[in-house]
Amino acid sequence: MPNEPGPPERGQDVQSTLCHEVRGCGRTIVIDDVATDPVYRDHRTPRQYGFRSYISVPIVDRDGEFFGTLCGLDPEPRMLNNPAVLETFALFADLVAAQLDAHRDLERQSRELSSERRFGRLREEFMAVLGHDLRNPVAAIQAATRILQRRELDPDAAEIVRQMGASASRMDELIRDLLDLARGRFGGGIPIERNPNADLRGEFEQVIAEIEVSSGCEIRRDLEFPPIACDQARMGQVLSNLLSNALQHGTPGEPIDVLARVADGTFALSVTNLGPPIVGRVSQSLFRPFYRGQSGPGRQGLGLGLYIASEIAKAHGGRLSVASADGRVTFTLTMPCETTAAA
């Protein structure tokens, strides 16, 4: 039995192989029998490696870069120069090239994803530090405006102080949103402290009254439910965020409806406003951080209100959803609850 030819031994020059010629010419080399081939019968390579038949197909990636060859050789003559063999080798060479392209794409995407994750982490750490460091100066401004409001001021000065207080309160809300975002990202969710006897109706009435005064909008409420175990302040934050969203995106001058009920062990809070419909793709993005939708002129915010409200709902074991029909948009929080006393 003749010896099978093998790859070049260590120290042998790759340039002595026909694969190197394939790289140079960029085309397939196929030999049925070296002894009768007019081009390669006197070539040094077949004698050096002891083959009679040979095929080598270039492997080229999608950018046109030569990677190597797919080759086969035999010490005996073989009928290789036929469509079936050539198409098979060409197909396998294309598959190898496609696999190389896919592997490179995966490596590139992995590097990009790692970079994006590092950048996202730094961004969120920056927001957390920024929010924390801004609280003290904003608290100082709020304290100063409260002191000034208790003094006798002329109408112009009183209006300036009022505007300063409103701006400081708005800044405090933005800082709170940033800190909640950081807590949710770093801690696996927004923390809550359940109070088994939370005065949730009182909390909601206070939030509604404050927003009515500041916005001048009519807010119709229907709050009939027994006390439930929840984080009272966080639930008030949910209602505040939903009302702020309704004011920003609802029809100006139209009333907003707030409904809260307990039925079959489930607490439901809904906020409804008149406004343009929310299409399917938009509704899927509403609860993502920094999504602001189609905010009009003068509408401000970081796009965190609905995201934070949704995270608070999740922390209570519930969810926040949106429905839009007949010119009305309704955001609804639903969560399981345990009533603690009669209404």
Q: Residue 26: which CATH number?
A: 3.30.450.40
Which among 235, 240, 243, 257 is positioned nearest to 337, based on CA atoms? 235
Confidence of residue 11 (pLDDT cuts 50, 70, 90): very low
- 140: its two tokens: 């100082």
Task: Give the pLDDT mean for 161-174.
Answer: 79
Q: How confident is the model at residue 216 (pLDDT cuts 50, 70, 90)?
A: confident
181 and 222 assigned to the same domain: no
Angle in degrees, CA 144, 147, 151, rounded to 5: 135
Prediction pTM value? 0.53
Q: What is the pLDDT of residues 73-132, one digit of tens each?
A: 999 999 999 999 999 999 999 999 999 999 999 888 888 888 777 766 666 666 666 666
Give the pLDDT confidence score for residue 55 in this predicted structure: 94
Measured CA to CA, the distance from residue 271 to residue 262 in angstroms comes to 15
Domain count, the chain: 3
Q: 32 and 126 share a domain?
A: no
Burial of 144 (0-12, 13-18, 19+ CB in 10 A): middle
DSSP helix/strand/coil, 257: strand
User: Which of 84, 107, 130 is where one domain is finished?
Assistant: 107
Residue 244 has pLDDT above 50, yes or no: yes
Answer yes or no: do 204 and 329 share one domain. yes
Question: How many CB atoms are closer than 10 A to CB 41?
Answer: 13
Tell me which amino acid residue 133 is: D
Candidate from 1-5, 84-88, 147-151 with smallest mean pLDDT: 1-5
Q: Are residues 206 and 315 in the same domain?
A: yes
Q: Which pair of structure tokens corresponds to residue 241?
A: 């965020």
Report the CATH number at residue 295. Answer: 3.30.565.10
Average pLDDT on 318-327 reads: 91
Domain that holds residue 131: 118-187
Within a domain: 342: no
Same domain, 219 and 182: no
**Which structure tokens are listed for 104?**
């490179």
Task: Please write the tens of the pLDDT for every residue from 269-285.
Answer: 999 999 888 776 666 67
Mean pLDDT, the chain, as a whole number?
83
- Domain membership of residue 20 (yes or no) is yes
- Domain end: 57, 85, 107, which one? 107
Q: How far, in Å, CA of 329 to CA of 275, rounded?
A: 6
| pLDDT (average), residues 173-189 | 67
Residue 265: phi, psi to the nearest 5?
Answer: 75, 15
Is residue 290 domain-resident? yes
Over range 326-339, report the average pLDDT: 90
H-only helix segments in the chain: 18-25, 44-49, 83-149, 155-187, 200-215, 232-249, 280-283, 305-315
Which one, of 278, 281, 259, 276, lies nearest residue 268 by Cα? 259
CATH number at residue 124: 1.10.287.130
